[in-house]
Structure 1
């Protein structure tokens, strides 16, 4: 899989694209990625993901932004394992936060990324003040010549699978349910930092992960 920055997104070949933060790459995300890759193969398009760095919530209010479930490396590995050919990083900043949804469609999706097929979640919002939605994409798709599909939510029992639901399960100590939502074991990755080794004296050796 190739990792590209939006401002240097390379080839003008036609793309099948999905957009999102994909924090945790849970069951709902994996359903989107599976559908993306499947359609891209059928239509001879490049299966691509447009994701954000930093997370928009971190840009607007870093101190209030949710804790990330996984880092970028784990997220990108999940994209690659799903069969995604290109991961495109959008450097979210003030310019993009003020971009009208119509401009995002015209300048980013059509002109820069040559999108021919677009897959979004059923609750997808984009552009300044989250004004853009699926209905706008569908209308603009007709105008600019790309197809749009909305992927239905995935549920575990009565719970809609989302990164927020995973965080809530973890905050309650319900690791089993969090892993059901993720569809995989939950793990924490990072660099081990040597501490004061107090845990050893108590009979509970620990690892300080930064």
Structure 2
């Protein structure tokens, strides 16, 4: 039987008993490059009798420094929620996820403190897998040489990972994935992920405007600075019935009917009514239809939604669910 997933924000008792095989990263959007390196972590952990583990950060370190310096435009957009990240890491075979809050105290610790307090004492690292350019600790003073030196002293191995390339020789990276999502290139994003881009969340109450114009929607809040371009998408919805459901979704600020600028994901299930409030659903984005628009009146908006729904029906008639 597979060991249960454990999520920690401090020490990890099981790791202290058996030791961990650890990799460190943000893993925002667990793409095929991530999946390959995580597979290596899982295989190595199995061969050495260790716990396959990941340390990840909230928020992204680049986001922390951008906001601290009052330069929010430098913060990376977010590919996935923490829930979706945890689920993706678990699906890759990771059994311990150590979520570290990236704050001033963490940023200011010395490289030696990071090694001794976190890697050795808290996570009982016996094997560490990081990029060749991995830097850590205050002012990024820690490097691979320091890790290898500490490993010899504290009893852990250090292995460095190489870039993973796609069939065109392009390195798999979260930056490339964000670029595809920013341009609504859903097909390219799917190639990077190995599956359609997804967002999960609980269905919340909205203004219920959709039902008054004949298109009731499921409303899901999305993470701040969502990487996906605002627009209309053909989607597949899981979590409401035993089978996936066909839908059309709008991601954006709803400029025709709202002025608060809050991004919301609204999903209309095609030709079916389902009870959904409070349920956790997963929306898979299959095809980009158009950008978000502001319409002059509600009737023009309704006509556009009707056309979008027909586009989605035609998509599913060709491709199926």
Higher helix share: 1
Q: Which runs of 5+ in 2 are unaligned?
A: 222-321
| Separation in 1, partners of 2:193, 2:48 | 29
- 1-side partners of 2:189 and 2:80: how far apart? 13
> What are the within-5 Å matches in structure 2 for residues 100-119 of structure 1?
100-119=110-129
Aligned length: 208
Q: Is the 8 A contact 1:48 1:88 kept in 2?
A: yes
2:141 is the counterpart of 1:131: yes
- CA apart distance, 1:197: 2.9
Question: Structure 1 pair 149/200, CA: closer, same or farther in 2 (3 Å)?
Answer: farther
Q: What's 1:174 paired with?
A: 185
Counterpart for residue 158 of structure 1 = 169
Q: Which residue of 2 aligns with 1:27?
A: 32
> After the TM superposition, which residues 1-210 of structure 1 pair with which residues of structure 2 at under 5 Å, given as runs?
1-6=5-10, 8-11=11-14, 12-13=16-17, 14-62=19-67, 63-64=72-73, 65-156=75-166, 157-193=168-204, 194-195=206-207, 197=209, 201=213, 208-210=219-221
User: CA separation in 2, counterparts of 1:165 and 1:179?
Assistant: 12
> Which structure has more RCO (C-alpha within 8 Å, separation ≥ 6)?
1
Question: Greater strand percent: which structure?
Answer: 2
1:39 Cα deviation (Å)? 0.5
Give, in whole Å, the separation in 1 of the partners of 2:76 and 2:210: 30
Runs of 4+ in 1 over 6 A off after TM superposition: none
Output the TM-score relative to the length of structure 1. Answer: 0.89
User: TM-score by structure 2 length?
Assistant: 0.60
Q: Distance in 1 between matches of 2:203 and 2:177?
A: 24
Q: Take 2:81 and 2:150, find their aligned partners in 1: how far apart are those partners? A: 33
Structure 2 distance, partners of 1:123, 1:54, is 21
Quote the offset at 1:131 in angstroms: 2.3
Higher alpha-carbon deviation: 170-179 or 43-52:
170-179
SS in 2 for 1:190: strand
**RMSD value over aligned CA atoms?**
2.1
How far 1:17 sits from its partner (Å)? Answer: 0.8
Q: Choose 130-139 or 83-92, whichever is displaced more.
A: 130-139
